[in-house]
Amino acid sequence: MEKLKCGHELCKDCKIQIVEISGPICPVCKAVFGKMQGNQPPGTMQWRSDRVSLPGFFHCGTITIDYYIPHGTQTDKHPNPGKHYYGTQRTAYLPDNKEGREVVRLLKKAFDQKLIFTVGTSRTTGSVDQVTWNDIHHKTCMSGGPQGFGYPDDNYLSRVRDELKDKGIK
């Protein structure tokens, strides 16, 4: 038996099987016990600070994040290996304050672990074989509130930190 960081125990064969199926996540308490690695295609993540403020964050600027994932060919980690996929360009926004700077650092870590995007079917357009967001939410509009994927949204930063934590990103 092997003891995980969370204190639960698994036999070696069970641990190997769990990692292959769902990643290094304890099946009992869902704690991450290793480094999660996603199937995001290669691309870039860049960010910059802008002076304009976001609604709800009037005394700081904005961190603008630009993601670029070019078109490519799906690997065996994607739904249709060998088939073409369509890339994407996305822009997201965070307040340029202490918590926003911490979140962008965590998002960069998640990007480097290939957890931000995946290849699949778009939930908004229904298009198949394209790069889509994975399970980490982003604010893609500066305004419009939560329903418009923008600000103000008082709980967004804590929610996205929880989503990152669920992926083992701290």
Residue 10: pLDDT band with limits 50, 70, 90: confident
Q: Is the pLDDT of residue 22 over 80?
A: no
> Which domains does the chain possess?
1-34 (no CATH), 44-166 (3.30.390.130)
pLDDT digits (tens, 9 = 90+) for 50-75: 999 999 999 999 999 999 999 999 99
**pTM listed for this prediction:** 0.87
State the Cα–Cα distance between residues 1 and 168, nearest whole angstrom. Answer: 23
Residue 6: pLDDT band with limits 50, 70, 90: confident
Structural contact between residues 102 and 47, judged by C-beta atoms closer than 8 angstroms:
no
Structure tokens belonging to residue 34: 């290793």
